[in-house]
Structure formats: structure tokens, C-alpha cells
Amino acid sequence: MNKIIATDLDGTLFYPKDHKNMICNSNLFFLQSFIDKGGKVVLVTGRSVDYGHKVCKTIGRDCSIIAFNGACVFHENKLIKEVTIPNVDAKELIAKACSEYGLPGVFLMTSNGLFIHLKYKSKLIRLGYKLYYSSLKIYAEKIDITESSYEKELENGRIFKIMLFFGLGNKNKQKASNVNKIIREKYSNIEANWSKNVIEITGKGSGKALTLEKLCEDFNINKDDIYVIGDSGNDISMFKAFHEHSFCMSHAPENVKKYAKYTLDNFEDLSRYIY
């Protein structure tokens, strides 16, 4: 079987959540069976490569990893692509975004983990973020909540992804969607994707669909064999590029679902279309 599942993680493979085992049994058994029958899996995520390896370990099978929304690619046990955002560009973009939109928080994902900058310097608010990430348990990335560490990474770190956080609630979700369009038009040296209350920014030449298409080209993979599945704004590019076999989770926003050809209630329902 030459078929390949290219799947998002949060809200997709991780739906419903299983805080003990990471992937619920029905999704896990489906993927394991699919791979054992000759299929292949590509994890296409905004998360880090390191976290992608944890997912592969949970699945118990080799998978390719497209991490940081396409800024890093791990394929056939090799790191074959890395796209970072120049530090000077990152500082300029973040400063303008914070000034113009009053962002309550900014997140950096670098080679050293996840780092947080907060608009308000209250220790209580920072503690709240720490407790929130602790509550994620098995889903938590490696995180450092100190402002000094954030400043250090912004100055000298290898930045793979910036997340501009607009705050909670539907009003801020819509604001993030609107500002994402502005940023995409304003900056030609980055890739920007809207995901709920966050705008995710990566270096030029990344992006989930672009990277997945390049993987097909470089390794002679037939695009018709790719089944893409996701639930968020950063998955829309995959739905467009691989539309014939594109699947969106039914709990996704309507303005995301409309780009996919099919809608699924559960990840494992993909089996009906593959077999």
C-alpha cells in the first residue's frame, strides 16, 4: 500500500485527548494497523521536532515529521530541512505587533524550547501560565517562563516559530484572523497562519502544504497518495494543495471546514476512505 496519511496533532490525532497515553486507543490502533499494512504517516504539526519524536515513540512506528508548521522536516531518520527566522526580523515584527495590537503575550519556539513574553509583568499572571502548561501534562512542550530567557532567545536563539497571542474569547479569535490577513500582505519574508486566538509565524519557504509538496517532489511521492487531515487555520493550505483527499475534523470552525473536501467526527473514521 502506497498511501500516506499526513496528519495534524492537536485537535486531530490528539482528539479526543488522552492525558495519560497521548493518543487515544482507537486512533493509535488505526495508525499502527495502517503502517503495518504498508502505509506511511507524516506528522504535520506546529509543535517541535523533539515533541514529534515523542509522538513517534508513542505510536511505536517510524513516521516522518514536519514540525514548526514546516520549518523543520525529519524524514527517513534524517533532519533534511530547517528554516529559521532571523533574530533582527523577529524583534522588529514582535515590537510592531505588540505596539499596534496590544498583545497580551508572545511565544517563541526555538531549538531550546518554548519561551514566553507577557505584556503584564505580574508574577501571578506568569505563575498562571506555568500552572496552565503543567496541566497539559503529556501534551506540554519544554517551556521556560522567565522573561530573561525569552530576551536571550529573541536576541541569539535559533527561532523556528513565533506565536502572537491575542487573548481569549471569540472577539480576540476574530481579531487574530483579521490581523493575520494584514500581516500576510505586509511581510513578504515570512509565512503567517491563523490558528484560533493565535497567529503563527515561520520563516519564508516553510508552511505545511509547501513543505509537504516539496517532500513529495524530493522523494518521488505521488501527491494522489496523500491523505491530509487537520482542524485549524494552519491546515487550510494542506486542504487546498491536496484537496481530493482532504479531511477536516467536524469540531473545527466553519471557515476552516469549508476548505476541506470531507468532514470527519473522529480521526479513525479516515479508515472508511482509505480502505
Residue with cell 530567557: 149
- Strands of the sheet containing 190-195, edge to edge, are 143-144, 113-118, 105-110, 159-165, 198-203, 190-195
- How much is the pLDDT for 76? 86
**Cα distance between residue 24 and residue 18, in whole Å:** 5
pLDDT tens-place values along the chain, 275 residues long = 689 999 999 999 999 999 999 999 999 999 999 999 999 999 999 999 999 999 999 999 999 999 999 999 999 889 999 999 999 999 999 999 999 999 999 999 999 999 999 988 777 777 777 788 778 889 999 989 899 999 999 999 999 999 999 998 999 999 999 999 999 999 999 999 988 899 999 999 998 999 999 999 999 999 999 999 999 989 999 999 999 999 999 999 998 999 999 999 999 999 999 98
Q: How far apart are CA 58 and CA 218, in angstroms?
A: 28
Radius of gyration for the alpha carbons in the chain, expressed in angstroms and rounded: 18
Identify the pLDDT of residue 1: 66
Distant-in-sequence, close-in-space partners of 79: CB < 8 Å, separation ≥ 6: 49, 72, 73
- Distance between terminal CA atoms of the chain? 10
Which pLDDT does position 145 carry in this prediction? 86
Please, what are the domains in the chain?
A: 4-83+206-274 (3.40.50.1000), 87-203 (3.30.1240.10)
- pLDDT of 220 reads 92
Give pTM, 2 decimals: 0.94
Asked if 193 contacts 234 with a C-beta cutoff of 8 angstroms, the reply is yes
Record the cell numbers describing residue 21, joined without a space: 497515553
